[in-house]
Amino acid sequence: MKECARVFDGWLTPYKKNRLLWESEIISHLSREVVIETLPPVDKGLLRVNGVFAEYADRYFHLRGWAAMGGVPIACVFLWFTLFFCFDLYVFSNIRTESQIVAAWVAVSVLGGFTIAVFYFTLLKEFFCYTHYPIRFNRVSRKVYVFRHNGKGGVVDLDWDGVYWFVGRSRDGSDISYDLRCHVLDAEGIVRDTFAVGHFASTRAEILQHWEMIRRYMEGSPADLPFPPLALVLSTKPTWRNCITIQVGGASGHSPVFMLLTLPWAFFRWISQITCRRPRWPDEVEAECQIPIDDPYRLPEPVSSGEVIGLDEVSEAALFEYREKAEAAALAYEAAYSK
């Protein structure tokens, strides 16, 4: 499993770049021309869709708040001890020996360094940044736009036909998670940039379904997607309700106690999200993504996650039936693939 990304690569830690493709990445390469007929396409992080573009959340959107929940208490402990030793130095320095003063300064330096490291490597990835980092697929211009920040040069503009798509793997101890990942290669085949699209999954089949959704949209048309019952159900607005829905809803299927334990995570997610800015696409990107007024494929965007807009009871029933069918197909694929 050496050829495997770390669990937080692309968020808390950077992807490994300036290298050749790993063998696992060559094996898991995804072709834009190959139709995956046995796996129904699914939505994994779709935020907006219409006849011109489809926009997805980044891989770590659902994990936001996790680093804050772990980092804030640790940073507070380090900061408290740093201030304690500083207080000790300034108030009681006249009764301390020289060796005690040196030891106190060493403690202040070490603890202060740890405090700065936690803030820099963890908390600054959560607070005062962006609520999410969207990826937009323009099927008309055949472009992929990757948002990094609002400033100049903050959007990576790529050709859909010129990038390398594959099923990415990330290792967390003995567990492996999968995601839809993309490499930007130079003329010599060296990896120069990497990003992941949409939610991660516990199985390869789910990512293939995720890929098939995007592939059909870009290579065919929105008519090739399951309309109906496709509907947008994810909202990125930094509201308390959304944070509760995303974190507690993500624990559905587990015990009530486990779901209750996700509430602190939801709280830290909310705190981190309300300090962040909303991503804003540059004017030139928005100009290339103008949506016709009478676009029949434009879906209404929910204010709250889990909310389904524009579907009647029959269509909602079809939506749940389709999801069950897609899940069963993924399980069958994994069972066959493992053999």
- Enter the DSSP assignment of 16: P
pLDDT tier at 21, thresholds 50, 70, 90: very high
Instruction: Say if CB 159 and CB 138 are below 8 A apart.
Output: no
73 and 55 together in one domain: no
115 and 133 together in one domain: no
9 and 109 together in one domain: no
Q: In what order do the strands lie in the sheet with 5-6?
A: 5-6, 164-172, 175-185, 191-201
Q: What's the pLDDT at 269?
A: 93
Question: 252 pLDDT exceeds 60?
Answer: no
181 and 303 together in one domain: yes
Rounded distance between C-alpha atoms, residue 126 and residue 11, angstroms: 10
Instruction: Say if CB 197 and CB 56 are below 8 A apart.
Output: yes
Region class of 18: left (phi > 0), else alpha (psi between -120 and 50), else beta? left
Mean pLDDT in residue range 60-64: 93
3-state secondary structure of 208: helix
Q: Is 43 inside a domain boundary?
A: yes
162 and 52 together in one domain: yes
Measured CA to CA in angstroms, residue 178 lies from 134, 174, 228 at distances of 19, 13, 27
82 and 193 together in one domain: no
Domain boundary (100, 125, 150) is at: 125
Of residues 80 and 251, more confidently modeled: 80
Neighbours of 161 (CB within 10 A): 10
In whole numbers, what is the pLDDT of the chain averaged over residues?
A: 88
Q: Give tens-digit pLDDT for 268-291.
A: 999 999 999 999 999 999 999 999
Q: What's the pLDDT at 2?
A: 67
Instruction: Say if CB 301 and CB 150 are below 8 A apart.
Output: no
Q: What's the pLDDT at 251?
A: 52
Question: pTM of the predicted model, to two decimals?
Answer: 0.89
Strands 143-147 and 164-172: unpaired
Instruction: Say if CB 277 and CB 133 are below 8 A apart.
Output: no
Rounded distance between C-alpha atoms, residue 323 and residue 310, angstroms: 18
Q: Give tens-digit pLDDT for 122-154.
A: 788 899 999 999 999 999 999 999 999 998 889
Q: Give tens-digit pLDDT for 78-118.
A: 788 777 777 777 666 565 677 777 777 777 788 778 788 77
Question: 254 pLDDT exceeds 60?
Answer: no
290 and 204 together in one domain: yes
Region class of 277: left (phi > 0), else alpha (psi between -120 and 50), else beta? beta
Amino acid found at 241: R
Q: What is the CA radius of gyration of the chain?
A: 23
Q: Is 259 inside a domain boundary?
A: no
134 and 179 together in one domain: yes
- Provide the domain limits for residue 83: 68-125
Mean pLDDT in residue range 160-171: 96
Q: Give tens-digit pLDDT for 26-39.
A: 999 999 999 988 89
Q: Give tens-digit pLDDT for 172-191.
A: 877 899 999 999 999 999 99
- Enter the DSSP assignment of 327: H
Instruction: Say if CB 90 and CB 239 are below 8 A apart.
Output: no
Q: What's the pLDDT at 339?
A: 65
Question: 46 pLDDT exceeds 90?
Answer: yes
Strands 175-185 and 164-172: antiparallel
24 and 93 together in one domain: no
Rounded distance between C-alpha atoms, residue 325 and residue 317, angstroms: 12
Q: What's the pLDDT at 255?
A: 53
